[in-house]
Amino acid sequence: MQTAVARLYACILRFFLSALQWYSDSRATHALKSIFQPWDIKFKGEREAVAAAAQQVERLADVALKAEVRDTRLEVVRGRADWEIIRREMSELRDENRRWHELWNENFQGLQGSILGIYKEIRVDLASQRTTLSRVHLNQMLTLPLWSSLPTSGESLDFCRSMRKRRRERWRLPLPDVQKLEAWSTRSTNALLLIDTYNPLVAKTFMIDLVDLILHSRLPVIWALRFADYWDRTMSMVDIARMLVLQAMQAGADRLQHDPFPVMVEQLREASSFGEWVAILNHLLSGTTNVFIVLDADLLNHATTHERSHALEMLDLLRSELSVNVKIVTATSCVSRGYVEELEDSDACIRLQTGGAGDWRTTRRSRRPMTRSRKK
């Protein structure tokens, strides 16, 4: 192709040289040459050579174009074949991917089920071990020597119940202000319930009846009540706090076995002051929303050696240091009247009047009149 084009350019250049020579002659020479050497004679060969070279270039270009088209068509055919192969391979890869995905899902579901089963077994084992450890820890704490001098919750309550049953005379307790009692029990803040009566036996009976009512309602309650021969023992405010801590551990044994135990044995052994025991009690009651605390007035008077300032300090610490909603029940015989009036003015307590002058009932058996016999 390049040779044919070069030949065409050579023919054209020869024609241009001949034409240039003709244009360089004069007009007379042009006139003579037109007669003796006309166009057909002088330039015909060169024109035909240019035409022949041009035709040769056209033929070669046509042949090259056809060859290029043929090659392009072959490439298109090969490209279509390759595309079909690629599409078939992509379809196969898609099917293979789908198969692997399904297989992965099946294996993953099986693996997930196995892991979930193992996880549940581990959780059950850990929960069982935690419960066992909590139970052992609780039993270890309940069997410490420091509790040996204190009664259990059932012993003190049974003693007070037996004392209530042994009384020959029975008093009809007047119905207190039920609305005030309900408002006190549903308060969202710490509050005191002070039983005011001239007869201590009436207050004790009402307090034990209130404990039975709270227990029957399945509400959390702890108490520090009298027990057998308590007057022969030397007690202090720390002993009262230890009784409340022991009550809290015994009453909340089921909850403490399933929750992380908040108190350690070392804390119980190292606690010495009333504030430290109140802090331990606060940890034990942290899982409850509200709790009732019943304090026997005779036991408080015995522990504080009838120093009402110590009893007031103890009540204030229980009200301020316990973070749960606490309701404290006691009698007015262990606190001062000024303290009661101050709490009533700040709406921090409720005083119930029980055992008035008209509350006596006749005994079951009428007593015989006492007669004295004189010696004759």
* Predicted pLDDT at 144: 82
Q: String of b and e for 52-74 (b: at least 16 CB within 10 Å)?
A: ebbebbeeeeeeeeeeeeeeeee
The whole-angstrom separation of Cα 82 and Cα 147 is 92
pLDDT higher than threshold 70 for residue 34 = no
The 3-class SS string of the chain reads CHHHHHHHHHHHHHHHHHHHHHHHCCHHHHHHHHHHCCHHHHCHHHHHHHHHHHHHHHHHHHHHHHHHHHHHHHHHHHHHHHHHHHHHHHHHHHHHHHHHHHHHHHHHHHHHHHHHHHHHHHHHHHHHHHHHHHHHHHHHHHCCHHHCCCCCHHHHHHHHHHHHHHCCCCECCCCCCHHHHHHHHCCCCCEEEEEECCCHHHHHHHHHHHHHHHHHCCCCEEEECCCCCHHHCCCCHHHHHHHHHHHHHHHCHHHHHHCCCCCCHHHHHHCCCHHHHHHHHHHHCCCCCEEEEEECHHHHHHHCCCCHHHHHHHHHHHHHHCCCEEEEEEEHHHCCHHHHHHHHHCCCEEEEECCCCCCECCCCCCCCCCCCCCCC
3-state SS class at 75 = helix
Judged by average pLDDT, the poorest of 73-87, 251-265, 284-298 is 251-265
Q: How big is the chain, counted in residues? A: 376
* Predicted pLDDT at 367: 41
Of the segments 105-109, 129-133, 198-202, which one has the largest average pLDDT value? 105-109
pLDDT in tens, 107-120: 888 888 888 888 88
- Alpha-carbon Rg for the chain in angstroms: 57
3-state SS class at 269 = helix
More confident: 67 or 371: 67
pLDDT higher than threshold 80 for residue 217 = yes
CB-CB contact of 297 with 334 (8 Å): yes
CB-CB contact of 174 with 356 (8 Å): yes
pLDDT higher than threshold 80 for residue 273 = yes
More confident: 38 or 135: 135
370 band by pLDDT with thresholds 50, 70 and 90: very low
DSSP letters spanning 194-223: EEE-S-HHHHHHHHHHHHHHHHHTT--EEE
* Predicted pLDDT at 259: 65
Query: Considering the entire predicted model, what is its pTM?
Result: 0.60
Q: What percent of the chain has pLDDT over 90?
A: 5
Judged by average pLDDT, the poorest of 5-19, 171-185, 220-234, 236-250 is 171-185
More confident: 30 or 150: 150
124 band by pLDDT with thresholds 50, 70 and 90: confident
Q: Is the dihedral of CA 214, 294, 157, 204 positive or negative?
A: negative
Q: Residue with structure tokens 């606690």?
A: 271
Q: What is the mean pLDDT of residues 314-323?
A: 87
pLDDT higher than threshold 70 for residue 33 = no
The whole-angstrom separation of Cα 275 and Cα 85 is 87
CB-CB contact of 49 with 12 (8 Å): no
∠ CA 117-119-125, rounded to 5°:
105
Average pLDDT, the chain: 79
* Predicted pLDDT at 294: 92
pLDDT in tens, 319-359: 888 888 888 888 888 888 888 888 888 888 888 776 553 34
Q: What is the mean pLDDT of residues 74-101?
A: 90
260 band by pLDDT with thresholds 50, 70 and 90: low
* Predicted pLDDT at 361: 38
pLDDT in tens, 88-112: 999 999 999 989 988 888 888 888 8
Q: String of b and e for 308-329 (b: at least 16 CB within 10 Å)?
A: bebbbebbebbbeebebbbbbb
pLDDT higher than threshold 70 for residue 73 = yes
* Predicted pLDDT at 362: 37
The DSSP 8-state label assigned to residue 352 in this structure reads E
pLDDT higher than threshold 80 for residue 363 = no
The whole-angstrom separation of Cα 155 and Cα 243 is 12
More confident: 149 or 172: 149
Task: Give the list of residues 6+ apart from residue 235 with CB closer than 8 angstroms, or none.
Answer: 299, 302, 303
pLDDT higher than threshold 50 for residue 375 = no
Paired residues of 290 in beta bridges: 325
pLDDT higher than threshold 60 for residue 280 = yes
